[in-house]
């Protein structure tokens, strides 16, 4: 994908208030399509887009959630940047909704999980998620100024959460104490939980890995 098309796509999403996470996912989807055919995405056909998504699902075995995100980005690109009419799903049927209750940990299980986390950054990451009731996407998007530690407030500001809505959640005194230790050691600037690449926040996959690795540790 040319830098011009990429910039147009990013600018359009920014003006429409898309989160940074969504913008990255949509750009990745369109870039992958262009790389697959080694041609500019704006000259491809509906059938070629269909075959690419089919390739991701059937041959590369990319999980449905990721494929659907890429497809959403591709649809957005053709509808808003290329101005194609009647843009649907390129013949890819939506996955039937599977209603499953979320798996929740008991208080004892959360305490056990946190007790085995030695790394301060990882412990604060998990404690912030559970104490404040944050989704992973909300957790990794936190910035230092979102922690409002004034005794009269004690809140965490969540910007562009589910449904692209801002909200507040409670900040406990115990979590604030750990956050202060974390600030002294890591001195975060742009993002509360920085990623491996300079200037980027921790990725969704990395945050989930922290949980999965520590979950398997013996108490």
Q: What is the pLDDT of residues 209-218, one digit of tens each?
A: 999 999 888 8
Binning pLDDT at 50, 70 and 90, where does residue 21 land? confident
Comparing C-alpha atoms, which of 55, 67, 65 is closest to residue 28? 67
Q: Are residues 140 and 64 in the same domain?
A: no
Judge whether 187 lies within some domain. yes
Q: Are residues 47 and 120 in the same domain?
A: no
Bigger pLDDT: 218 vs 10: 10
Comparing C-alpha atoms, which of 141, 126, 153 is closest to residue 212? 126
Judge whether 192 lies within some domain. yes
Q: Are residues 71 and 163 in the same domain?
A: no
Structural domains counted in the chain: 2
Sign of CA dihedral 193, 195, 201, 202: negative
- The reply to whether the predicted model has a pTM over 0.75 is no
pLDDT at 94: 84
Of the residues 80, 97, 115, the one at which a domain ends: 80
Q: Are residues 111 and 76 in the same domain?
A: no
pLDDT at 85: 86
pLDDT at 65: 86
Of the residues 27, 45, 80, the one at which a domain ends: 80
Quick one: average pLDDT of 55-77? 93
pLDDT at 82: 95
Vertex 188, ends 183 and 193: CA angle to 5°?
100
Q: Are residues 203 and 116 in the same domain?
A: yes
Domain of 116, in residue numbers: 107-215
Judge whether 173 lies within some domain. yes
CA–CA dist 77, 87 (Å, integer) = 10
pLDDT at 218: 83
CATH number at residue 191: 1.10.443.10
Q: Are residues 74 and 118 in the same domain?
A: no
Comparing C-alpha atoms, which of 185, 183, 205 is closest to residue 195? 205
Q: Are residues 63 and 111 in the same domain?
A: no
Residue carrying the six token digits 């004892």: 108
Helix (H) or strand (E) holding 169: strand 167-170
How does DSSP classify residue 153?
Answer: T
pLDDT digit string, tens, across residues 80-135? 999 998 888 888 888 766 666 556 778 888 888 889 999 999 999 999 999 999 99
Q: In percent, how much of the chain has pLDDT > 90?
A: 69
Of the residues 13, 45, 80, the one at which a domain ends: 80
pLDDT at 154: 96
Binning pLDDT at 50, 70 and 90, where does residue 19 land? confident
Judge whether 26 lies within some domain. yes
């Amino acid at each position: 994908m040319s830098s011009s098309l990429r910039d147009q796509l990013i600018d359009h999403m920014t003006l429409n208030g898309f989160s940074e996470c969504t913008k990255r996912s949509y750009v990745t989807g369109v870039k992958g399509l262009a790389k697959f055919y080694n041609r500019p995405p704006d000259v491809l056909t509906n059938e070629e887009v269909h075959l690419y998504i089919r390739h991701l699902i059937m041959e590369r075995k990319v999980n449905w959630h990721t494929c659907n995100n890429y497809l959403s980005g591709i649809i957005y690109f053709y509808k808003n940047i290329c101005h194609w009419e009647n843009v649907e799903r390129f013949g890819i049927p939506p996955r039937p909704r599977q209603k499953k209750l979320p798996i929740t940990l008991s208080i004892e299980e959360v305490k056990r999980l946190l007790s085995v986390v030695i790394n301060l950054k990882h412990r604060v990451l998990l404690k912030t998620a559970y104490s404040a009731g944050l989704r992973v996407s909300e957790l990794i998007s936190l910035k230092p100024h979102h922690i409002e530690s004034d005794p009269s407030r004690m809140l965490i500001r969540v910007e562009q959460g589910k449904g692209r809505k801002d909200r507040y959640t409670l900040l406990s005194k115990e979590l604030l104490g750990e956050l202060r230790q974390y600030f002294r050691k890591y001195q975060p600037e742009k993002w509360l939980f920085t990623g491996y690449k300079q200037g980027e926040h921790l990725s969704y996959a990395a945050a989930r890995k922290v949980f999965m690795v520590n979950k398997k540790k013996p108490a």
